[in-house]
Structure 1
Amino acid sequence: MAETGPAPRRFGTFAGVFTPTTLTILGVILFLRFGDIMGQAGVLRGMAIVLGAQTVTLLTSFSLSAIATNTPVKGGGAYFLISRTLGVEFGGGIGLFLYLAQATSVALYVLGFTESFLGAFPSLGWDSRLVASCVNLGVFLCVFAGAGWTIRLQYGILAVLVLAVLSFFAGALPLASLHTLAANLHPAYGKGSGFFPLFALFFPAVTGIMAGVNMSGDLADPGRSIPVGTFTAIAFTGSVYVGMGLLLSAVLPQGELLSRGFVVRELALVPGLVNAGVFAATLSSALGSMMGAPRVLQAFARDRVLPRLAPFARGSGKTQEPRLATLLTFLIAQGALLLGDLDAVAPVITLFFLVTYATLNLACFLEGVTRNPSFRPRFRWHHWSLSLLGTLECLGLMAFLSPLWSLLCLLALGGTMVLIGRAEILATWGDLTSGLAFQRARASLIRLEKEKYHPKNWRPSILALSGGAWNRNHLAEYACCLASGRGVVSLAQVLLGDVETLGTHREEAERLLRKHIRENGLCAFPVVVAEEDLGRGMKTLLQCHGLGGVRPNTVLLGWSEDPKRRETFFQTLRLARRMGKSILVLRYDQTRSREEGIVPEGPLSVWWTDPQNGSLMLLLAHLLRQNPLWRDHPLRILLTPPPQADRESLVTGMQGRLEKARIDGEIEVLPTEDPEETLSRTLANPGLLLIGFAPPEEEEEEEAFLARMASLLALPGDLLLVCHAGHASLEA
């Protein structure tokens, strides 16, 4: 997905971050619900609620600042930061949740304004839903006109809000009493209330840290403005909440805090200023959310994560205002207004934001703990332990607030991520998942290097000398089936020519091989080397391919009738044998009919001639049958002793081996003086036959080896010649 150009940026720290963040935090909860919260929770638990919520936002702000100073920040706020860190699936899932949380927050603030307005003018007798709808429409029109107009409007709102807070302090401070404060230390919960329900009601008050971040596309210097503006706003608003909470508890007994309603206005020096302040606070918070939510949706749509949202990517005017996304936000907020009230909407928003904060902290924690070299934030006060603490705190609070709804929320997030993942969207930005996978692989490789090898831990690590796999795809498919998801398969190709001049061709060949692997659904890795001749290329592969404990332990070749390749073929066999690799040679019968892909009709047969090669043949046959396409093929163990041999003891011994190996198979004894001729008659409907062999150790032995193999190669069906290096054990 191509990145779109950034929208024009013009706002500084104060206008773009501090102002919207402060106005959203000092909102509806402060004036309409804070007195009730302090009355029920008491001073100690009330301060714990305030400090606990502030701790969540503070820890999240550390993570937010680290990520914001580590990458060029464009429009989309927290969605942009998460998607460019955790990747398209995580970013897409959180983007939708964050957008819905912001859009629903508009309804929360509009409901708060409506409640305060009708409380201030009870004689009007207007319908609350009608007032809320009109206010929502007014907020929409202000934002629809453009962010610049809204920002200028918020300067005046901030001034009124500060005057309202000062009016409260001026009126309440002379009435404060330490005796009253001491009497209000402990909680007086109402019916159905408690610490966590009150926390859920209060928490939306501090979610305003996203208001500034969501303006990231309109900031002149987001890497500086986001940390400075966010922390300044948290410090300022935190002081206001602590001060107001202590003053409320020091002026009125708990019973009066609960019963006197709009207590902040009653205690203010100039009550009219508090009315104006609460109007300003609720309207500014609604404006901030109505500005931020569409920008999240616009950024999400521009990434084309979900094609149906593409119309919302469009911007209007020079500043690329997301007007269509703003219209949708208005409609979602209007729907929430018609369905809920303030106390019902707040806990839902709390869960949405906790999920977003947990994910943001998780992103920063994983970037730090995996030591990603590209994670170099200029924000100096970050450490991955703070992000981990923030993640755990968010998840813990979700579990305490509502285990069921938290679980459903996380399941919905997971479902969205799966849906986006199945769409196989190719993102042009990096993500954390690849870095995390690298770190896990690194740790596992180091551990494997330290571990002492034991046959119990043997897994097939197959180097398939398939050349251009599209020419011999059967070899690649057999290699993957033999690994059966338990081992590692590498498909190797040798480019012939001068190494210095084949660099570009080698990269292109590897790209084509990787494309072939992807299109055919093969679980394999491509490896291409350039050498002057085929023999030297094979030596390079056998000696250098692999890393630590995942170096190939098995080499798979195709049998070739081409005399020109005979010398290279035998050189490869000898080199693999001397390097302690097990050897598999596949003779693919192209005349046989196939059910699907490489799978032939007929049973899977193992010709047991010696325990050394036989143990690997049984293991490979067992692994083949773990594949769905091979599962219904019966496994036969063919014994071809001389006619005078003790048949019963042979069967008993073989059954004992199978029992120890925990492998099921049918034993078939074929007494004969001519095993090849007997096998030819027995394999009337062959599938795959595994045969043990010993490759020639010297060039002088090659002709004799070919003569011995001639009768075997005349057998019908697919043949897999197996030479075991001794690493695997049936009894392990």
Structure 2
Amino acid sequence: YYALSAMLIAGCIYKYIEYRGAEKEWGDGIRGLSLNAARYALLRVEHGPHTKNWRPQVLVMLNLDAEQAVKHPRLLSFTSQLKAGKGLTIVGSVLEGTYLDKHMEAQRAEENIRSLMSTEKTKGFCQLVVSSSLRDGMSHLIQSAGLGGLKHNTVLMAWPASWKQEDNPFSWKNFVDTVRDTTAAHQALLVAKNVDSFPQNQERFGGGHVDVWWIVHDGGMLMLLPFLLRQHKVWRKCRMRIFTVAQVDDNSIQMKKDLQMFLYHLRISAEVEVVEMVENDISAFTYERTLMMEQRSQMLKQMQLSKNEQEREAQLIHDRNTASHTAAAARTQAPPTPDKVQMTWTREKLIAE
């Protein structure tokens, strides 16, 4: 009883001092302890996490309109559904100009972003950069967002909607440069297309599927993202399906068993479907072709060729492979197959879009 009484008296004294405003003279002790604990924790997490503990720490890139309002608020809804209040979330944006001229607009934009984060229940930090160009500002955010070990490993952004318009030629250039910066920083990139059609936090799906086309071996991130989404109330009743691509002469049954075992070790519940396609329908960026490209790059490095010689050698190998595939197709004279799902982006598909 004496201990409880002492704790009660100490609490009353603290509340009285807090009410009287004594912190104006000697500061808030609790805040000082919090800052000290935060500093200690940041020093402890200086090194990266273990592979098994990896989860997306997201940097959300928002676009602002002329009134400093967020163009795609559903991007924050998707972020809160993906993160569920766990891990690190940094919401960033860029204003073009100089800080001396744009500091008032920057403050107003930051207030708008914080208000939207509160509405969408997105727990995280807001970081706004004023730069001479949008491209440089996004590059600065990718490089410098975060503090110490509390840094992002994933960049989330919306697909550029006006990249085909002639009056906005820098839209697709900024997007491509951002992809390159993210790759150079060894970070994952999530691009949300048609983000304005994404569900809000108040919506609930009574069924449906979350389909994953697992083509290139990427360590399982494509499987982790829908798993995290299904932890949220919006997607909880959706079922997860994973489609993988195999050639006609591959052992589809064994491939399905291996993928099911892989999901079992990841503790992910999902349906597995193997889609058989002929070799001509499979993109050149599948896992096997990727291995061939890596082996060729290593071979060129071992040969110690110059840059121009490497380009000529790579083009020669590409021409030989193209000629061999064309000759094989002419010999077999296989009937044309119907169009199937486009697995990866090609130059023709990009122009068609």
TM-score scaled by length of structure 1: 0.35
Aligned to 1:575: 181
For residues 85 and 142 of structure 2, the distance between their equivalents in structure 1, rounded to whole angstroms, comes to 22
Q: Per-residue deviation at 1:594? A: 7.5
Equivalent of 1:447 in 44, 50, 75: 44
Confirm whether residue 464 of structure 1 aligns to residue 64 of structure 2: no
Confirm whether residue 354 of structure 1 aligns to residue 37 of structure 2: no
Q: Is the 8 A contact 2:90 2:145 kept in 1?
A: no
Confirm whether residue 631 of structure 1 aligns to residue 229 of structure 2: no
For residues 599 and 553 of structure 1, the distance between their equivalents in structure 2, rounded to whole angstroms, comes to 29
Given residue 152 of structure 2, which amino acid in structure 1 is its aligned partner? Answer: P
Q: 1:629 to 1:458 in 2, by over 3 A?
A: same
Q: 1:590 to 1:505 in 2, by over 3 A?
A: closer
Aligned to 1:603: 209
Given residue 134 of structure 2, which amino acid in structure 1 is its aligned partner? Answer: L
What pairs up with 1:50-129 in 2 under 5 angstroms? none
Q: Per-residue deviation at 1:593? A: 8.1
Q: 1:362 to 1:622 in 2, by over 3 A?
A: farther
What pairs up with 1:125-164 in 2 under 5 angstroms? none
Q: Is the 8 A contact 2:206 2:237 kept in 1?
A: no
Q: Per-residue deviation at 1:553? A: 0.6
What pairs up with 1:202-217 in 2 under 5 angstroms? none
Aligned to 1:550: 150
SS of equivalent residue, structure 2 residue 277: coil
Q: Per-residue deviation at 1:519? A: 2.2
5+ residue gaps, structure 2, are 17-22, 284-338
Q: Per-residue deviation at 1:538? A: 0.6
SS of equivalent residue, structure 2 residue 128: strand
Give the greater-gyration-radius structure (CA): 1
5+ residue gaps, structure 1, are 1-199, 201-349, 365-373, 378-429, 681-690, 694-703, 714-732
Aligned to 1:143: none
Confirm whether residue 492 of structure 1 aligns to residue 89 of structure 2: no
Q: 1:664 to 1:520 in 2, by over 3 A?
A: same
Deviates more, 1:530-539 or 1:463-472: 463-472
Confirm whether residue 707 of structure 1 aligns to residue 348 of structure 2: yes
Confirm whether residue 656 of structure 1 aligns to residue 257 of structure 2: no
For residues 256 and 7 of structure 2, the distance between their equivalents in structure 1, rounded to whole angstroms, comes to 63
What pairs up with 1:334-373 in 2 under 5 angstroms? 353-359=5-11
Aligned to 1:524: 124
For residues 663 and 559 of structure 1, the distance between their equivalents in structure 2, rounded to whole angstroms, comes to 28
Given residue 441 of structure 1, which amino acid in structure 2 is its aligned partner? Answer: A
Q: 1:600 to 1:493 in 2, by over 3 A?
A: farther
Aligned to 1:477: 77
For residues 348 and 184 of structure 2, the distance between their equivalents in structure 1, rounded to whole angstroms, comes to 23
Give aligned-pair identity as a percent: 26
Equivalent of 2:221 in 591, 616, 633: 616
SS of equivalent residue, structure 1 residue 546: coil
CA deviation vs aligned residue, 1:189-232 (integer Å, no higher than 9, x gap): xxxxxxxxxxx7xxxxxxxxxxxxxxxxxxxxxxxxxxxxxxxx
For residues 10 and 200 of structure 2, the distance between their equivalents in structure 1, rounded to whole angstroms, comes to 52
CA deviation vs aligned residue, 1:53-100 (integer Å, no higher than 9, x gap): xxxxxxxxxxxxxxxxxxxxxxxxxxxxxxxxxxxxxxxxxxxxxxxx
Aligned to 1:588: 194
Instruction: Select the structure with the greater relative contact order (CA < 8 A; seq sep ≥ 6).
Output: 1
Given residue 276 of structure 2, which amino acid in structure 1 is its aligned partner? Answer: P
Q: 1:602 to 1:432 in 2, by over 3 A?
A: farther
What pairs up with 1:315-330 in 2 under 5 angstroms? none
Aligned to 1:504: 104
Q: Per-residue deviation at 1:675? A: 6.7
For residues 112 and 130 of structure 2, the distance between their equivalents in structure 1, rounded to whole angstroms, comes to 15
For residues 569 and 557 of structure 1, the distance between their equivalents in structure 2, rounded to whole angstroms, comes to 9
Q: Which has the higher strand share?
A: 2
What pairs up with 1:171-250 in 2 under 5 angstroms? none
Q: Is the 8 A contact 1:481 1:627 kept in 2?
A: yes
> Over aligned residue pairs, what C-alpha RMSD do you find?
3.3
For residues 173 and 123 of structure 2, the distance between their equivalents in structure 1, rounded to whole angstroms, comes to 31
Given residue 634 of structure 1, which amino acid in structure 2 is its aligned partner? Answer: R
Aligned to 1:137: none
CA deviation vs aligned residue, 1:475-517 (integer Å, no higher than 9, x gap): 1222222223332111211111122211222122111211111
Q: Is the 8 A contact 2:77 2:120 kept in 1?
A: no
What pairs up with 1:670-689 in 2 under 5 angstroms? 670-673=275-278, 674=281, 677-679=339-341
SS of equivalent residue, structure 1 residue 636: strand
Aligned to 2:325: none
CA deviation vs aligned residue, 1:335-375 (integer Å, no higher than 9, x gap): xxxxxxxxxxxxxxx798534324257889xxxxxxxxx69
Q: Is the 8 A contact 2:241 2:270 kept in 1?
A: yes
For residues 245 and 87 of structure 2, the distance between their equivalents in structure 1, rounded to whole angstroms, comes to 32
Q: Per-residue deviation at 1:634? A: 0.4
Given residue 38 of structure 2, which amino acid in structure 1 is its aligned partner? Answer: A
Q: Per-residue deviation at 1:644? A: 2.8
Q: Is the 8 A contact 1:490 1:527 kept in 2?
A: yes
CA deviation vs aligned residue, 1:632-686 (integer Å, no higher than 9, x gap): 1101111222233211111111011111111111101222344795448xxxxxx
SS of equivalent residue, structure 2 residue 123: coil
Q: Is the 8 A contact 1:477 1:598 kept in 2?
A: no
Q: Is the 8 A contact 2:80 2:120 kept in 1?
A: no
Q: 1:439 to 1:599 in 2, by over 3 A?
A: farther
Q: Which has the higher helix share?
A: 1
TM-score scaled by length of structure 2: 0.69
Q: Is the 8 A contact 1:593 1:601 kept in 2?
A: no
CA deviation vs aligned residue, 1:129-152 (integer Å, no higher than 9, x gap): xxxxxxxxxxxxxxxxxxxxxxxx
Q: 1:479 to 1:709 in 2, by over 3 A?
A: farther
Q: Is the 8 A contact 2:134 2:174 kept in 1?
A: yes
Q: Per-residue deviation at 1:457? A: 3.0
